[in-house]
Amino acid sequence: MTVSALDNGITGNRIDSQTVLYGVIGDPVRHSKSPIMMNRAFRETGINGAYMAFHITPGKLGQFVAGIRAMGIRGVNVTIPHKLDIMKYMDEIDAGAQAIGAVNTIVNDNGRLTGYNTDGIGYVRSLKEEAEPELAGKRILVIGAGGASRGIVYALAGEQPSGITIANRSVERAEELAQSFRSLADIRAIANDELQAACGEADIVINTTSVGMHPHTDATPIDTSWLKPSAVASDLIYNPLRTKFLLDAEQHGCRVHGGLGMFIYQGAYAFEYWTGQPAPAAAMRETVLQSLV
Ligand code: NAP
């Protein structure tokens, strides 16, 4: 491959001696859509950056962090399984990431590493822009209490909802999550057998479980006839873009909101932390959507 093919064919970005390096780490990482999304963002804004996917196994995390400083990598996204373990390598952790207990974005300021979590705020920005601009006073039902749910419940709690109910297959996990953020909002935990009643009261119902994700696309976390037709049904899953939960809820009259926006906006916040410039979210979405069809 020629140098010009590398310059223009792979990232499409200018690559020269001034180019600043960014990337995502994960294990596995080859499925990640972040490189195409972020390189489009650099092209769109004219920023001289290049974004790579690094396959980092758990035993290599410390060496990678030394590499961030040595190579002057400006920004890193962190995905499964490193979001918790990376925290001990940070010089500083943002209050939100500390409360959530996970870091998905690193900013490198001349060797000083700060950890952020943009998953929850990315989700809320997407929900407000795409489905429901006003979350204050709303009754929100969150189904699932895993890693993604933690970030989302923390971010939703900052929006003055009238209450948040968390339902989970293992109810003790829902109780633990509710307990963590009870000082921020009116949050309660329920078991999945109380879901029908909770759906009947909810203005926004969010699926944060993996139920309905490819290849199990016939599965749905609830019977959507339980929802108020005026409710918003939201799903974190973006493969498929429209889950059975969302298709059924749409049939029932609900407004629906898929998981792609969360992915775009978690990246948009990271881009903004790194560059100080507004992220070109529409272009980022277009590139990811093109890669999904
Ligand atoms: P996680 O930590 O493994 O949590 C999985 C959650 O799903 C738990 O609450 C688990 O319940 C529940 N669950 C799994 N299988 C279930 C089943 N058969 N019946 C009922 N509940 C079940 O995973 P995560 O990282 O939070 O991710 C959850 C989902 O969010 C995934 O689909 C992921 O793709 C999506 N996600 C999307 C984005 C985005 O950018 N759009 C970002 C992150 C995650 P138990 O506690 O009882 O096991």
Domain ranges of the chain: 3-117+262-292, 120-258
Q: Is the CATH number 3.40.50.10860 carried by domain 3-117+262-292?
A: yes
**Active site residue ranges:** 83
Question: Ligand 1 centroid to 13 CA: how many Å?
Answer: 35
Q: Residue 227 is encoded by which pair of tokens?
A: 């929802």
Q: Residue 109 is encoded by which pair of tokens?
A: 């300021």
Q: DSSP string spanning 82-100?
A: -TTGGGGG-SEE-HHHHHH
Note the pLDDT tens digit of each residue in 22-81: 999 999 999 999 999 999 999 999 999 999 999 999 999 999 999 999 999 999 999 999
Give the whole-number percent of the chain exceeding pLDDT 90: 94
- Output the CA angle 54-60-61, nearest 5 degrees: 80
Look at residue 12 in the predicted model and tell me its pLDDT. 57
The half-sphere exposure of 178 on its side-chain side, counting CA atoms within 13 A, is 22
Name which of 115, 185, 175 is nearest 155 in CA terms: 185
Look at residue 117 in the predicted model and tell me its pLDDT. 97
Region of residue 113 (phi > 0: left; psi between -120 and 50: alpha; otherwise: beta)? beta
CA 21 to chain CA mean position, Å: 22
What number does the ligand 1 atom closest to the CA of 239 have? 34
Name which of 83, 87, 141 is nearest 114 in CA terms: 87
Q: Ligand 1: which residues within 6 Å by Cβ?
A: 119, 144-149, 168-170, 173, 208-211, 213, 236-238, 259, 262-263, 266
Is the Cα dihedral 207, 136, 264, 54 positive or negative?
negative
Look at residue 4 in the predicted model and tell me its pLDDT. 42
Helix axes 147-157, 119-130, angle to 10 degrees: 60
Tell me the CATH number for domain 120-258.
3.40.50.720
Question: Ligand 1 centroid to 16 CA: how many Å?
Answer: 41
Look at residue 5 in the predicted model and tell me its pLDDT. 39
Q: Which stretch of 5-9, 95-99, 141-145, 224-228 has the lowest confidence by average pLDDT?
A: 5-9
Single pTM value for the model:
0.93
Residue that the structure tokens 């093919």 belong to: 5
Region of residue 31 (phi > 0: left; psi between -120 and 50: alpha; otherwise: beta)? alpha
What number does the ligand 1 atom closest to the CA of 209 have? 7
Interatomic CA distance for residues 163 and 95, integer angstroms:
22
Residue nearest to atom 2 of ligand 1 (CA): 146
Question: Ligand 1 centroid to 239 CA: how many Å?
Answer: 13
Interatomic CA distance for residues 92 and 66, integer angstroms:
16
Residue nearest to atom 32 of ligand 1 (CA): 210
Contact 162, 224 (CB under 8 A): no
Question: Ligand 1 centroid to 273 CA: how many Å?
Answer: 27
Interatomic CA distance for residues 85 and 103, integer angstroms:
9
User: How many C-beta atoms surround the C-beta of residue 254 within 10 A?
Assistant: 22
What number does the ligand 1 atom closest to the CA of 261 have? 41
Q: Is the pLDDT of residue 8 over 90?
A: no
Write 31-34 long-range contacts (CB < 8 A, 24+).
Answer: 32/79, 33/263, 33/288, 33/291, 33/292, 34/77, 34/79, 34/267
pLDDT band at 10 (very low <50, low <70, confident <90, very high): very low
Q: How far is CA 190 from CA 110, 143, 168, 203, 214, in A?
A: 46, 10, 7, 17, 27
Residue 224, C-beta contacts closer than 8 angstroms, at least 6 positions apart: 233, 245, 248, 249, 251, 252, 254
Backbone angles phi, psi at 71, to 5 degrees: -95, -5
Asked whether this chain's domains 3-117+262-292 and 120-258 adopt the same fold, the reply is yes
pLDDT band at 275 (very low <50, low <70, confident <90, very high): very high
